[in-house]
Amino acid sequence: MEVFPWWTDEHKKLEKEMAAFVEEVMPRDEETRWRREFPWDIFEKLSKKGYPGAGIPKEYGGLGLGATGACIAAEALNRMPGVGRAFVGNMLGGLRQIIEYGSEEQKKRFLPRIATGEIGAIVITEPFVGTDAASIQTTARRQGDFYVLNGKKRFIVSAGVASRYMVYARTSNNPDEIRNYRHLTAFIVEKGFQGFTVEKINEIMGFENIQNGVLNFNEVAVPAGNRIGEEGEGWRVMTAGLNFERTMICAQTLGWTRELLRNVVPYAQRRVQFGKPTIDLVNNQFKIADLIIQVKIARMMTYYTAYLWDLGRDITLGSNMGKVFICEGAIRTALDAIQVMGG
Ligand SMILES: Cc1cc2nc3c(=O)[nH]c(=O)nc-3n(C[C@H](O)[C@H](O)[C@H](O)COP(=O)(O)OP(=O)(O)OC[C@H]3O[C@@H](n4cnc5c(N)ncnc54)[C@H](O)[C@@H]3O)c2cc1C
């Protein structure tokens, strides 16, 4: 794939290595989708190579390749949608939040775990709270050295398979604090905490080998040492994570779109109708041209945003615009690809 002039030799090496890795494990990914099994063995392999640590600084056990490295990994792995989703979910489940808001002790405790492939999840959405995330109803009340969490979350990627859950809960109902977005607090809840259970796994298209489900918190005691940021800082922690998340989602969706291109062109070259390959039909050529344009622009947007992030610049606009453009384009070009392939 095209590399960008600002990539370092390490970025280029990672891109090459990951392309080969994905080729090697793709048949196994397909098998786990048919079998509806979580691809543990693929995660084990990719963890041994250190890919989950692409965006984690070296001093915390990562490869130290920044947002660019994390995007290279996400783009490559998202040729396998299930593996890619869990990988990106892992990046979202605490990585940025801990780097930006975690104490030194928390960085040392959690970042090496992420780098070595422990699976994490991001836990915001609730049955009655979606886009309006500031209205989170799950509560956390301080009790000595613990916070006690109660509530329900849904749509959570890697529910049950993850070991680490980046959870946002309400710690205040004070109208002033709500007005100033100081009513939420972020916590890392770990698998096995008493009262923390998976209620249900959803059947979602594209999630054949990855769990997505509903989580229950029933008087879950979370050590205060697992609070990320100060009490009341949850909204800031969440939004810090979300800008990084949107960049990762750009890379993820780019991976899916690239995979469309990889499938649709050879198919249309092979498929013969009206005495010629269907790629010779001009209506198909227009659709494939649109797909190539989409991939090209999506890659530029993703990696330019990641580059700015690595330079320490504000990427709020770039990551949000990128997510809209790349996701909407992915839907449009996927529908076109279906038509090119018959549909
Ligand atoms: C496949 C999948 C995976 C997911 N994974 C996770 C996960 O791992 N962790 C997690 O916490 N959540 C996850 N989610 C939840 C996701 O983030 C929510 O679906 C999202 O926040 C929207 O919430 P909602 O579905 O409840 O929609 P609602 O908020 O109930 O509805 C959204 C509606 O409001 C409209 N709307 C939204 N914003 C605006 C606006 N600014 N102006 C005007 N209209 C607006 C929309 O057009 C839409 O009609 C996942 C969802 C899906 C589908």
Question: Whole-angstrom Cα distance, residue 112 to residue 126?
Answer: 29
Q: How far is the CA of 153 from the centre of ligand 1 (A)?
A: 13
In Å, how far are 268, 298, 317 from 338, measured between CA atoms?
11, 20, 32
Question: Whole-angstrom Cα distance, residue 212 to residue 169?
Answer: 20
Using the atom order of ligand 1, give the atom closest to the CA of residue 204: 1
pLDDT of residue 242: 82
Using the atom order of ligand 1, give the atom closest to the CA of residue 207: 1
Residues with CB under 6 A from ligand 1: 89, 121-125, 130-131, 155-157, 204, 212
- The boundaries of every CATH 1.10.540.10 domain in the chain are 9-119
Closest CA to 168 of 133, 219, 213, 199: 133
Using the atom order of ligand 1, give the atom closest to the CA of residue 129: 26
Q: How far is the CA of 262 from the centre of ligand 1 (A)?
A: 30
CATH number of 9-119: 1.10.540.10
Is residue 106 within 8 A of residue 98, CB to CB? The reply is: yes
Using the atom order of ligand 1, give the atom closest to the CA of residue 153: 11
- The boundaries of every CATH 1.20.140.10 domain in the chain are 237-340
Q: Is the pLDDT of residue 206 over 90?
A: no
- Residue 178 C-alpha from the chain's centroid: 28
Q: How many residues does the chain have?
A: 343
pLDDT digits 0-9 by tens, 266-288: 999 999 999 999 999 999 999 99
Q: How far is the CA of 100 from the centre of ligand 1 (A)?
A: 25
- The β-bridge partners of 129 are 126
pLDDT of residue 214: 97
Q: Are strands 146-157 and 139-143 parallel, antiparallel or unpaired?
A: antiparallel
Measured in degrees and rounded to the nearest 5, phi and psi for residue 82 equal -70, -50
Tell the residue nearest (CA) to atom 43 of ligand 1: 131
Using the atom order of ligand 1, give the atom closest to the CA of residue 206: 1
Mean pLDDT for all residues in the chain: 94
CATH architecture under which domain 237-340 falls: Up-down Bundle (1.20)
Top-level class of domain 121-232: mainly beta
Q: Which of 95, 154, 155 to mutate to test the pocket of ligand 1 (most atoms within 8 A of CB)?
A: 155
Q: Which of 90, 95, 125, 328 to mutate to test the pocket of ligand 1 (most atoms within 8 A of CB)?
A: 125
- % residues pLDDT > 90 (the chain): 87
Q: Is the pLDDT of residue 207 over 90?
A: no
- The boundaries of every CATH 2.40.110.10 domain in the chain are 121-232
Q: How far is the CA of 115 from the centre of ligand 1 (A)?
A: 29
Three-class SS state of 219 = strand
pLDDT of residue 240: 78
Residue 201 class from Cβ within 10 Å (0-12 exposed, 13-18 middle, 19+ buried)?
middle
Q: How far is the CA of 129 from the centre of ligand 1 (A)?
A: 9
Mean pLDDT across 305-313: 95
DSSP state of 130: S
DSSP state of 94: T
Tell the residue nearest (CA) to atom 2 of ligand 1: 155
Mean pLDDT across 86-94: 82
Closest CA to 163 of 23, 71, 304, 38: 38
pLDDT of residue 94: 82
pLDDT of residue 325: 97
In sequence order, which residues have a C-beta less than 8 Å from that of residue 317 and are 6 or more positions away?
none
Q: Return the higher-pLDDT residue of 114 and 207.
A: 114
Lowest mean pLDDT among 161-175, 230-244, 291-305: 230-244
Tell the residue nearest (CA) to atom 47 of ligand 1: 131
Task: Please report, as a single letter, which amino acid is at residue 232.
Answer: G
Q: Which residue has the tokens 């993820």?
A: 252
Mean pLDDT across 23-35: 94
